[in-house]
Chains A and B, each alone.
Chain A
Amino acid sequence: MQKSSKALTAFALLVYLFILVPMLIITISAFNAETYITFPPIGLSLRWFANIFSVTMFIRTFKISMQIAVLSTTLALVVGIPAAYVLSRYRFKGRSILESYFLSPVLIPQIVFGFSLFNFLIIALDLPVFISLFLGHTVFILPYIVRVISSSLANFNYEIEEAAISLGASRAYTFFRVVLPNISSGVIAAFVLAFINSFNNVPISVFLTGPGVSTLPIQMMSYVEYFFDPTIAALSVVLMVLTVIIMFVIERTLGIAYFTRNAKSGGQ
């Protein structure tokens, strides 16, 4: 028992190292004083962090990426929550087809999906770049939302909904005041997952970006094609820190309260 747990610890440590070492290398090389990425770094400097803000395209595309992520995640939630609810609550014709559509985000290669969206949104419909990005990302993250909310609804006892209705609540009131509060941790999880997926996306964005409108990941890629200085490493560090802060805030404000409440109601 002791032996195997030691081996397991060692293995787990290796896995962690494998995941963390690249990030560690990026973080260290972000403080490099030289004009190219080296490891171990030569000298110590914060100039590349300052340089992020001197590249105006980074600031502009960061704003666009945030806008796209917030807007498309919001729209996907507005569409996805009712869709997940109907799929889990009712039995109807074509349900399994809809379900397999919503639950298969990984089946179509994203590059293919991006190309089809490009043909449809930009070529056929001739939509502006920003709108195309917004709609494209919404469609792409919708399955994630439906999947996460569905699994949250799978644990929801629909007799609770019937109880509210029997006490005089309308269907709409019941949905917003009884069903939604009980799947709120699922909604938050879905929001975070969809937001990160949208913010990180390259294969779809690469087709939908156009003159003047680009997303941060695309901008970072094209920067790396022309410059080999550690600015990208510094930007990566900033993004990692931002993610950690967001996760920490969610955990502190919503996370703990929701998890304890769910643990309580799970005990009944």
Chain B
Amino acid sequence: MVLLKLENIQAGYDDNIVLDNFNLEVQEGELVSFLGPSGCGKTTTLRVIAGFVTPDKGKVYFSGQDYTPLSVHKKNFGFVFQSYALFPHLSVYDNVAFGLKMRNVNRPEKDKRVKDILEMVGLERLIDRYPGELSGGQQQRVALARALVIKPDLLLLDEPLSNLDAKLRLQMRREIKSLQSKLGVTTVYVTHDQEECFSISDRVVIMRDGKIEQYDSPEKIYDNPGTSFVAEFVGFKNFFDCTFNQDNLVDLGGVKFEIATERIMPSTRGEKEITCGIRPGDIELISKKEADKTSKMNRMSGEIMLSTYLGDEYEYVVAGEKQEIIINCPSDTKIKQGEKVELYFPPDKLIGVK
């Protein structure tokens, strides 16, 4: 069931239009993430959903009702801010109880719900502390508890982990995911971290300049990025400008490349000039012996320019015939700088995008 629906939204600040004709649907119980570079409009979209930004045009529907004119404090949405935005003058208990107080929940029930949620985030011992006495991770948990204790119809999170260190970020994202699925609350999550986003989301909205580039499950986006912008986000580092020769044959300045038909994305339909992309780890090195046996298709020769050690692999920058190519190879063999190599681009690893 569609729980949240944005219809033809136009929104921005002063003269700066951030979103134009923006449409989105979120299913009940889903965790949907907005991923994109800063300034792409993901936070604005979240603020439109919350009601902090009133759209100039368009409507926000929540379970079929028009929520656009409803003021923020009348919606039952939980919001977690990047800065946590805890109330500095209130204890952990009073911070978490704030929303219940606004809802006139009676004392025994309030106590119970606050204690339960604090237990769930592992903070029951710190109930009398003030925010200034807590670590970043603890403040984050209080913010989460405060938003969840009101049993929100929708949970909105704005880059909630960006102020934490790497280790804590991993731990917190697992906790957010497990809390979200335990409580079954529909969640919209904004982030600029691809790994974080893909690991916890049911579906991902990839945004660019206020538009949706792709809206799909993380697996589908990872395997079949729809555009070169999305491809870059999911680890494609090599891109070539090509022209279509036939259905699945492209021409890269004289070199013919075959691409598996299902890897040519719909965004290329009707285009003559397209972009081919491949991940550094998907390019194969061909030894001299094999070089003569296999066909000349999907091949390119080059010279190793630079090697960097990544732990389990080496990354090489190869000077190709037309452009630089980045490849990753297992770290059991090291190729010397200046050595000539023959590269093979498997048809089922290449993608064709606009």
List A residues at the B interface (Cβ < 8 Å).
91, 157, 159-160, 162-171, 173, 178, 181-182, 261, 263-268
A-B contact pairs, 7 of them (CB 8 A): A159-B81, A164-B87, A166-B73, A167-B147, A171-B73, A264-B131, A266-B132
The distance in angstroms between the C-alpha atoms of A173 and B103, with both chains bound, is 13
A261 near B130 with CB under 8 A, answer: yes
Q: Which of A91, A170, A266, A268 has the most CB of B within 10 A?
A: A268
Contact of A160 among B76, B87, B132 (CB under 8 A): B87
Q: In the complex, which residues 47-72 of chain B have their Cβ closer than 8 Å to any Cβ of chain A?
A: 50, 52, 72
Task: Answer whether residue B89 sits at the interface, using C-beta atoms and an 8 A cutoff.
Answer: yes
Residues of A within 8 A of B85 (CB): 157, 159-160, 162-163
Residue of B82, B102, B136 touching A168 (CB-CB under 8 A): B102
Query: Is B141 in contact with chain A by the CB < 8 A criterion?
Result: no
**Out of A162, A169, A266, A268, which one reaches B102, CB within 8 Å?**
A169
Known: A160-B86, A164-B98, A167-B150. A268 touches B81 (CB 8 A): no
A167 to B14, CA, bound (A): 27
Say whether B34 faces chain A, with CB atoms less than 8 Å apart: no
Q: What's the tally of chain B residues with a CB closer than 8 Å to chain A? A: 33
What CA separation (Å) do A170 and B71 show in the bound complex? Answer: 9
Residues of A within 8 A of B134 (CB): 268
Once A and B bind, how many residue pairs between them come within 8 Å at the CB atom? 85
Closest chain-A Cβ to B171's Cβ sits at a distance in Å of 20
- Asked if residues A264 and B73 are in contact (CB atoms below 8 Å), the reply is no
- Give complex CA distance A166, B77 in Å: 7
Determine how close the nearest CB of chain B comes to the CB of A160; give it in whole angstroms. Answer: 5
Q: Interface majority SS on A: helix, strand, loop or mixed?
A: helix
B99 pairs with A167, CB closer than 8 A: yes
The chain A residue sitting closest to B77, CB to CB, is A166
- Shortest beta-carbon distance from A96 to chain B in Å: 15
Once A162-B79, A261-B130, A266-B132 are accepted as A-B contacts, the answer to whether A168 and B87 lie under 8 Å apart by CB is: no
Interface residues of B in 242-274 (CB under 8 A from A): none
Within 8 A of A (CB), among B302-322: none
Which residues of B sit under 8 angstroms from A261, Cβ to Cβ?
88-89, 130, 132
Contact B88 A165 (CB under 8 A): no
A267 CA to B132 CA, complexed, in Å: 6
Contacts of A169 in B (CB 8 A): 73, 98, 102
Interface centre among A164, A165, A173, A182 (most CB of B within 10 A): A165
Does B139 lie within 8 Å of A165, measured CB to CB?
Answer: no
**Could you tell me the distance between the alpha carbons of A182 and B85 in the complex, rounded to whole angstroms?**
12
- Is there a chain A Cβ closer than 8 Å to B146's Cβ? yes
Contact indicator B83/A159 (Cβ below 8 Å): yes
Whether B36 sits at the interface, judged by CB under 8 Å, is: no
Q: How far is the CB of A158 from chain B (nearest CB, A)?
A: 9
**Is the beta-carbon distance between B99 and A265 smaller than 8 angstroms?**
no
Given contacts A157-B83, A160-B88, A181-B89, whether A168 and B73 have CB atoms under 8 Å apart is: yes
Give every chain A residue within 8 A of B14 (Cβ-Cβ).
91
Interface membership of B352, Cβ < 8 A = no
Contact between A264 and B103, CB atoms less than 8 A apart: no
- Is B223 an interface position by the 8 A CB rule? no
The answer on a CB contact under 8 Å between B87 and A264 is no
Least CB distance from B21 to A in Å reads 26
